[in-house]
Amino acid sequence: MVKNTESNNKSQLLSAKTFGQMLALSKRQIFRLNSCGKIPAPIRIGGSVRWIEQEITNWLAAGAPDRKTWEALKQQGGE
């Protein structure tokens, strides 16, 4: 049986505030970009909205395409 280490198994989730800090944007601007489909889709946990840090890192490395383009890249294995 293989044990997973915490660092291998743990995905960091970002709030809108933290995501905004990464991009030098406000929380409100993040929600506006989300509504327009300009950033990757968040996940919902209860009443909270979060983004997966690794996905955001990959999205930025890909040039921050809009959501539709980003989803197509992920389908092709470009994430």
The pLDDT of residue 43 is above 50: yes
Q: Which domains does the chain have, with CATH numbers?
A: 12-75 (1.10.1660)
Q: How far apart are CA 11 and CA 17, in angstroms?
A: 17
User: Using the 8-state DSSP alphabet, how is residue 76 labeled?
Assistant: T
The pLDDT of residue 79 is above 80: no
Residue-wise pLDDT for 44-72, tens only, equals: 999 999 999 999 999 999 999 999 999 99
DSSP string computed for 36-71: HT-SPPPEEETTEEEEEHHHHHHHHHTT---HHHHH
The pLDDT of residue 13 is above 70: yes
